[in-house]
Amino acid sequence: ASRLKGKTVLITGASSGIGKSCALEFARTQPDDLKLILTARRIDTLKEIATEIAQFAKGVKVHPVKLDVSKPDEINKFVGELPNEFKEVDVLVNNAGLVKGVAQAPNIAPEDIDVMFATNVTGLINMTQAILPTFKTRPDGGRGDIINIGSIAGREPYQGGSIYCATKAAVRSFTDALRRELISTRIRVIEVDPGQVETEFSLVRFNGDQEKAKKVYEGVEPLTPDDIAEVVVFTAGRRENVVIADTLIFPNHQVSAPISFGEC
């Protein structure tokens, strides 16, 4: 745990689910000396999380920032405007992501295709490119951790999830290429692939329809976002020479991606 002392951790999509749990878990693990940059579109929620952290981790400084990762200009502005105290990012957790709908070709709404790729793929790549120069200023070609949240869906595509699965396969491919590109540095490129986790993920998929979202988890015991956060923080807390390059985390009942979602 002490390996995280004094680190600056930047999390995208920190207002809910896995990203929020990561924020709380980093703070729990290093309550005396840590800097957290929390980003998402819902700034009010981020501020509430900052208040929550202040109550149990007095030594954690939190910088909440409104940031839509699907907007390249916002990313550049955000990085340019980081306060001096938060500029030296050590760990980037690329977590922001979403799924929209269960439609199958040829009925997939163009705006759903766009938002999934712009957020899950282009947003993740742009964030990585915006932070890497900071990592590369450090000795031995560079230091820092890039932790990308992929999914079982990136390994096993399923009906009703073609676009989401394609975005997560793209994350996996980008991550693997990046690890190779950075092989002569000390920068660690890490992928964490969750199976089924109960968060706002399904609520977003079904446009806020609580009934449909709840049905996804009926009769099964999904992971909690804290389960994934523990893994994320573990990977960041390893000895510098240890790269947890790739993980796949299922709840006990799961062995594969969902077989299919019906059309809605």
Q: Which of 87, 168, 215, 217 is catalytic?
A: 168
CA distance 14 to 23: 7
Q: Which is nearer to ligand 8X3, 123 or 237 (CB)?
A: 123
Our answer to whether residue 7 is catalytic in this structure is no
Give the range of 35-43, 58-66, 130-138, 148-156 binding ligand 8X3 by CB under 6 A: 148-156
**Binding string, residues 190-229; x marks residues near ligand NDP by CB under 6 A:** ----x-xx-xxx--x--------------------x----
Binding test (CB under 6 A) with ligand NDP, winner from 10, 23, 30, 97:
97
Residue 49's Cβ-side half-sphere holds a number of Cα atoms within 13 Å equal to 30
- Give me the least distance between CB of 264 and ligand 8X3, in Å please: 14
CA distance 28 to 234: 12
Which of ligand 8X3, ligand NDP, none does residue 124 bind (CB under 5 to 8 Å by kind)?
Answer: none
Element (H, E) at 247: strand 246-249
Contact residues for 194 (Cβ-Cβ < 8 A; gap 6+) = 18, 149, 151, 152, 223, 228, 249
Closest CA to 257 of 152, 100, 160, 159: 152
Q: Which is nearer to ligand 8X3, 4 or 104 (CB)?
A: 104
**Binding string, residues 63-82; x marks residues near ligand NDP by CB under 6 A:** ----xxxx------------
- Give me the least distance between CB of 51 and ligand 8X3, in Å please: 29
CA angle (35, 23, 225) in 5-degree steps: 165
Which of ligand 8X3, ligand NDP, none does residue 125 bind (CB under 5 to 8 Å by kind)?
Answer: none
Provide the b/e sequence for 166-190 (b: ≥16 CB within 10 Å).
Answer: bbbbbbbebbeebbeebeebbbbbb
Site for ligand 8X3, residues 152 to 171, rule: CB under 6 A? 152-153, 161
DSSP labels, 39-77? EES-HHHHHHHHHHHHHH-TTEEEEEEE--TT-HHHHHH
Our answer to whether residue 164 is catalytic in this structure is yes
Element (H, E) at 12: strand 8-12
DSSP for residue 30: S
- Residue 182 near residue 139 (C-beta atoms within 8 A): no
- Give me the least distance between CB of 8 and ligand 8X3, in Å please: 28
CA distance 68 to 231: 25
Give the range of 53-61, 151-159, 173-181, 183-191 binding ligand 8X3 by CB under 6 A: 151-159
- Give me the least distance between CB of 65 and ligand NDP, in Å please: 10
CA distance 110 to 119: 14
- Give me the least distance between CB of 261 and ligand 8X3, in Å please: 8
Active site residues: 164, 168
Give contact residues for ligand NDP (rule: CB under 6 A).
12-19, 40-42, 67-70, 95-98, 119, 149, 151, 194, 196-197, 199-201, 204, 225
Give contact residues for ligand 8X3 (rule: CB under 6 A).
151-153, 161, 196, 257-258
